[in-house]
């Protein structure tokens, strides 16, 4: 067998048996995955001689561009459609009002400091750009709990619809697949791939990671219970002795499909530790706005972007008064989502226009549900993390902040990725979406209906300033380079113009890349 094919086969075997964490480690060792490419603060050397740059959009990409270009000596003006900065870096709190496409308005009635992040809600540890700007701008971060072994995996068609603890499914799946691999090694079925020393080391590792006994079996007992939990936990006194718990059969786990969520926290961008700003994701947006807010014209809907060899001309509308205005600049950094840019009047090149038209935006729905108390902590002993379900809400994420506090609290009552489900929720009014989130969530937590207090929902195809959750390329290989390069006087930036799509890191790195190349053109021609 050729070396490359042997390696691919070995990776497949590792992933199928030892688990995705082992697979990730193996892939990283042979450079199949990479972290963020952020190298530190950008240096824009040289005098731009007062050149003016017009930035379209005050999301993170736009504000990074504004901050760094002004520091380099440019005159900067920012046009922002909304009444506030941040774009999809957005938080809803008590007292906020949100109106979606179609006119439905929701009044957010959360108590105190409770909030929900409709857009970004977690920061990977290797998104160095976001973390660096948070440090530079004084944004306080706290851990975001991605994986909780005491949370639930739920399939409405398995186990009588009863949720299963993550640790039970994860431990039993890992243990029994480790047993299968160990038996295959014992039966000399992998001798063409393993040396005798490798066979011995692999068996030893499978016993350690799969909780196998000295006969290479995974079965009920003290050893497996130390991983999956005891039937009767250890205590004190005359009746304090623990009893072993009974594993779930591999056949049941495979039929349930619950294994498909076991690897979620092993993905490069979901690995612990992860972080979140204390008080809501828009603390990042607010920090940027404190630095560049004086450059931003809010409530400004861009309707036309024109350019020639001397500069750019932009027409925009004051969304409060309807007044039409224009502005000009030498250069333009356009961070407007392609879903919006494609509907504007513009004279961008045919190549960039084709790139804009190549991108569509993913549909998604999110719910912030406030309950009278933290029943998931008090009743179910779930402190942060995510429960997954096959129901249309797809997941429930428990707050990582404010653990053990009393009074009302907000959890993420659903986050859909399936397009068909997202379209179905798009067609509903907010109150109907809340009704279904409560119905579906009650299959996992029966306390839902009794403990519910208030809620808000966001379907991203109805968010006016983006019309979707994040950009997806139909043919990136053909069009991406034309979206990245400077188009006469205009350069585009944002998560959609990166290989870190959907992440704030992608927006920041795209912006830094764009302004770096723009500055080089200004200085060197």
pLDDT by residue (tens digit) across 317-364?
999 999 999 999 999 999 999 999 999 999 999 999 999 999 999 999
Q: Is residue 156 part of a domain?
A: no
Domain identity same for 397 and 417: yes
pLDDT over 90 at 29, yes or no: no
Q: 277 to each of 58, 456, 458, 503, how far by Cα in Å?
A: 19, 21, 21, 15
Residues 343 and 252 in one domain: no
Q: Are residues 57 and 141 in the same domain?
A: no
| pLDDT band with cut points at 50, 70 and 90 for residue 35 | low
Shared domain check, 218 and 307: no
Do 370 and 417 share a domain, yes or no? yes
Residue 44 lies in a domain: no
pTM for this model (two decimals): 0.92
Please indicate, yes or no, if residue 467 is contained in any of the structural domains. no
Name the least confident of 18-22, 55-59, 230-234, 369-373. 18-22
Give Cβ neighbours of residue 477 (< 8 Å, ≥ 6 apart). none
Same domain, residue pair 100 and 248: no
Alpha-carbon gap, residue 74 to 51, rounded angstroms: 5
How does pLDDT run across 252-269, given as a tens digit for each residue?
Answer: 999 999 999 999 999 999
Q: Report yes or no: 344 and 492 within 8 Å, Cβ to Cβ.
A: no
| pLDDT at residue 2, as a whole number | 38
Task: Specify the pLDDT at position 30.
Answer: 33
* Full domain range(s) for residue 307: 52-87+283-359+477-524
- Identify the band that residue 418 occupies on the pLDDT scale cut at 50, 70 and 90: confident
Answer whether residue 32 shows pLDDT above 50. Answer: no
Residues with Cβ within 8 Å of 254's Cβ and at least 6 positions away in sequence, in order, are none
Geometric angle at alpha carbon 99, from 98 and 100, rounded to 5°: 120
How much of the chain exceeds pLDDT 70, in percent? Answer: 93
Confidence category of residue 31, pLDDT binned at 50, 70, 90: very low
Q: Both 336 and 419 in a single domain?
A: no
> Over the stretch 119-154, which tens digit does the pLDDT of each residue have?
999 999 999 999 999 999 999 999 999 999 999 999
Q: What is the pLDDT of residue 21?
A: 44
Q: Is the pLDDT of residue 9 over 70?
A: no
Last residue of a domain, one of 410, 438, 462: 462
d(CA 461, CA 473): 17
Please give the average per-residue pLDDT across 435-448, as a whole number: 98
For 393-442, the DSSP string reads T-EEEE-SSSTT--S-EEEEEEEE--HHHHHHHHTS-HHHHHHHHHHHHT
pLDDT, residue 11, reads 41
Report pLDDT for 34: 54
Q: What is the domain-level CATH number for residue 200?
A: 1.20.1440.240
Nearest CA-CA partner of 122 in 293, 306, 270: 270
98 with 56, same domain? no
Structure tokens at 421: 């489900």
- 351 shares its domain with 367: no
pLDDT (tens digit per residue) in 214-230 = 999 999 999 999 999 99
Distance CA 85, CA 377 (A): 34
**pLDDT value at 405 more than 80:** yes
The CA–CA distances, whole Å, from 123 to 126, 198, 411 equal: 8, 38, 18
Q: Let me know: does 134 contact 124? Beta carbons within 8 Å.
A: no
* Spatial distance between the Cα atoms of 331 and 312, rounded to a whole number of angstroms: 6
Here the CATH number for the domain that contains residue 70 is 3.50.50.60
- Residue range 462-516, pLDDT digits in tens: 999 999 999 999 999 999 999 999 999 999 999 999 999 999 999 999 999 999 9
Number of domains within the chain:
4
Q: Does residue 394 sit in the same domain as residue 452?
A: yes
Domain harbouring 414, CATH code: 3.90.660.10
Is residue 52 within 8 A of residue 330, CB to CB? The reply is: yes
Q: Are residues 325 and 455 in the same domain?
A: no
Same domain, 297 and 315: yes
Which residues are CB-contacts of 173 (< 8 A; sequence separation ≥ 6)?
250, 253, 259, 262
């Amino acid at each position: 067998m050729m070396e490359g094919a042997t390696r691919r086969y070995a990776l497949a075997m590792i992933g199928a048996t030892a688990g995705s964490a082992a697979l990730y480690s193996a892939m990283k060792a042979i450079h199949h995955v990479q972290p963020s490419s952020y190298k530190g603060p950008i240096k824009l050397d040289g005098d731009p001689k007062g050149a003016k740059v017009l930035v379209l959009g005050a999301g993170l990409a736009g504000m990074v561009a504004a901050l760094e270009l002004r520091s380099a000596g440019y005159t900067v003006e920012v046009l922002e459609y909304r009444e506030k900065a941040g774009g999809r870096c957005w938080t809803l709190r008590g007292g906020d009002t949100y109106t979606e496409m179609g006119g439905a308005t929701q009044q957010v009635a959360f108590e105190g400091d409770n909030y929900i992040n409709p857009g970004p809600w977690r920061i990977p540890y290797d998104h160095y750009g976001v973390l660096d700007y948070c440090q530079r701008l004084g944004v306080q971060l706290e851990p975001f709990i991605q994986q909780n072994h005491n949370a639930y995996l739920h399939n409405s068609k398995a186990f009588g619809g009863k949720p299963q603890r993550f640790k039970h499914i994860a431990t039993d799946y890992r243990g029994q697949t480790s047993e299968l691999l160990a038996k295959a090694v014992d039966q000399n079925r992998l001798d063409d791939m393993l040396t005798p020393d490798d066979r011995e080391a692999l068996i030893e590792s499978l016993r350690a990671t799969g909780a196998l006994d000295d006969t290479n079996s995974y079965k009920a007992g003290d050893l497996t219970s130390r991983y999956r939990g005891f039937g009767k936990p250890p205590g004190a006194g005359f009746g304090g002795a623990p009893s072993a718990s009974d594993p779930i059969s591999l056949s049941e786990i495979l039929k349930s499909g619950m294994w498909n969520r076991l690897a979620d926290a092993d993905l490069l961008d979901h690995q612990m530790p992860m972080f979140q700003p204390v008080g809501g994701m828009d603390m990042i947006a607010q920090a940027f706005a404190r630095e560049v807010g004086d450059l931003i014209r809010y409530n400004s809907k861009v309707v036309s972007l024109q350019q020639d060899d001397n500069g750019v001309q932009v027409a925009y509308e004051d969304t409060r008064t309807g007044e039409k205005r224009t502005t000009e600049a030498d250069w333009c950094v356009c961070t407007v989502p392609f879903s919006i840019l494609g509907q504007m009047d513009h004279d961008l090149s045919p190549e960039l226009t084709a790139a804009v038209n190549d991108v569509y935006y993913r549909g998604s729905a999110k719910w912030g549900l406030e309950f009278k108390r933290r029943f998931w902590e008090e009743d179910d002993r779930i402190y942060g993390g995510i429960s997954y379900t096959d129901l249309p809400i797809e997941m429930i994420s428990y707050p990582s902040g404010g653990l053990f506090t009393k009074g009302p609290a907000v959890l993420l009552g659903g986050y859909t990725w399936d397009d068909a489900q997202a379209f179905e929720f798009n067609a509903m009014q907010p109150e109907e979406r809340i009704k279904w989130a409560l119905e579906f969530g009650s299959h996992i937590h029966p306390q839902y209906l009794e403990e519910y207090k208030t809620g808000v929902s966001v379907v991203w195809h109805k968010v006016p300033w983006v019309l979707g959750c994040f950009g997806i390329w139909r043919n990136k290989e053909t069009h991406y380079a034309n979206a990245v390069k400077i188009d006469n006087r205009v350069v585009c930036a944002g998560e959609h113009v990166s290989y870190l799509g959907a992440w704030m890191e992608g927006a920041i790195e795209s912006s830094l890349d764009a302004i770096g190349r723009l500055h080089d053109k200004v200085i060197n021609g």
